[in-house]
Amino acid sequence: MKFISVTGGLGNQMFIYAFYLNIRKRGQKATLFVPYRHDSKKYGKNGFELEKIFLLHDKKKIYTRIIVNLLKIYANLLRIFPAKYKDKLYRLIGIYTVSVPENFIYYPEVFVFNHKHELYKGTWQSELYFKEAINEIKESFVFKIELLSQTTKKIAEQIQKTNSISIHIRRGDYLNSQYSNGFAEICTPDYYRKAIEYISDRIKNPTFYIFTDEIEWVSQNFIIENSVYVQHNTDKDSWQDLYLMSLCQHNIIANSSFSWWGAWLNNNPEKIVVAPSKWWKQFEHDDVVPSNWIRI
């Protein structure tokens, strides 16, 4: 059995689920391993969201649920040990951990299945990790429309009637010390100006839908003609922004797994997706942006 450990916010959870589907596509028995409570901060401020917002077709057999629950108990017991000992302790029960040095680089060797039972730890942030399961992923990441607010539905109608371009500007949590050394100040005002110019030169009468957690900063740094600020989705409703991004004809994304998925789920066959040329300050990130997206 391959156990795919889940961690992080919604965007990371989606990468991990996509990776899980690809493992299954390769003929392996696999299951998601959600080691913490669904409301744990290990899954970001909104907890474990996949089952809440998507029509997932993933029902575990009773035997698998028992095994996963036993593994959760064991994982909780291991919390008292330093991280450097945990791989050895997992091997005591016949489970070998699989991880990679950097989450934004594709390591094909993770698909060389060396052991019967393996625990995969990572966020697998590259389309290359799930290129064999594209159809299964799109079938899984179908939003629960009945959960959408009336405001979201109205904006969705507007988006589908215009040459819509989403712009995701993420600042809030990226300015915290936890993230500032890696993610902050990569998507500068200059990046967004160049991205807007690139799209405007190619799309007639564009309407820009701006998704941001810091409207004041955006209004101070940009004058974007024909723009709509989407600001009603907060906290546990923020996933609805992802839904709206996916409806836009084209996308300008931040160095964020959240807007990455908004662009990836965009079904426009002629879409233009603009992404930052740099994703992370400290590590290699060559494989995170698909080859057919525009890097600026």
Answer yes or no: do 136 and 184 share one domain.
no
For 68-79, give the DSSP string: HHHHHHHHHHGG
Give the integer Cα–Cα distance in Å for 243 and 260.
12
For the chain, the domain total comes to 2
What is the average per-residue pLDDT within 192-205? 96
- pLDDT tens, 203-238? 999 999 999 988 888 888 888 899 999 999 988 999
Answer yes or no: do 106 and 162 share one domain.
no
Dihedral, CA of residue 273, residue 274, residue 280 and residue 286, to nearest 10 = 70
Q: Does residue 291 register a pLDDT over 80?
A: yes
Q: What pLDDT sits at residue 179?
A: 52
What pTM, to 2 d.p., does this model score?
Answer: 0.92
Answer yes or no: do 58 and 165 share one domain.
no
Answer yes or no: do 34 and 110 share one domain.
yes
Contact between 34 and 161 under an 8 Å Cβ cutoff? The reply is no
Q: What pLDDT sits at residue 144?
A: 97
Answer yes or no: do 155 and 275 share one domain.
yes
What is the average per-residue pLDDT within 152-181? 80
Single residue among 124, 140, 156 that ends a domain in this structure: 140
Answer yes or no: do 112 and 190 share one domain.
no
Q: Does residue 53 register a pLDDT over 90?
A: yes
Single residue among 125, 140, 155 that ends a domain in this structure: 140
Structure tokens at 60: 């575990």
Single residue among 112, 140, 168 that ends a domain in this structure: 140
- pLDDT tens, 267-281? 999 999 999 998 877
Q: Give the single-character DSSP code of 96.
A: E
In the chain, which ranges are continuous DSSP H helix?
10-25, 50-53, 62-77, 83-91, 134-140, 150-161, 177-180, 189-200, 215-221, 239-247, 257-264
- Host domain of residue 26: 2-140
Give the integer Cα–Cα distance in Å for 274 and 289.
10
Answer yes or no: do 128 and 243 share one domain.
no
Confidence of residue 175 (pLDDT cuts 50, 70, 90): very low
Rounded to whole angstroms, the maximal C-alpha distance in the chain is 62
Q: Give the single-character DSSP code of 89.
A: H
